[in-house]
Amino acid sequence: MNALLDTHAFLWWIADDPRLSETARGFIADGTNDVYLSVVSAWEIVVKAAVGRIELPETASQFIPRHVTQNGFEILPIRFTHALAVADLPPVHRDPFDRLLIAQAISEGLAILTGDSEIEKYHVNIIW
Q: Could you tell me the residue ranges of all domains in the chain?
A: 17-127
CATH class of 17-127: alpha beta
| Tens of pLDDT, residues 34-56 | 999 999 999 999 999 999 999 99
Average pLDDT over residues 82-100: 94
DSSP 8-state secondary structure symbol assigned to residue 119: G
Residue 38 CA to residue 78 CA, distance in Å, equals 7
pTM: 0.95
* Residues whose CB falls within 8 Å of the CB of residue 61, separated by 6 or more in sequence, listed in order: 46
Confidence of residue 94 (pLDDT cuts 50, 70, 90): confident
Confidence of residue 97 (pLDDT cuts 50, 70, 90): very high
66-71 long-range contacts, CB within 8 A, separation 24+: 67/10, 67/14, 68/37, 71/13, 71/14, 71/28, 71/35
Average pLDDT of the chain, as a whole number: 96
- pLDDT at 29 (0 to 100): 97
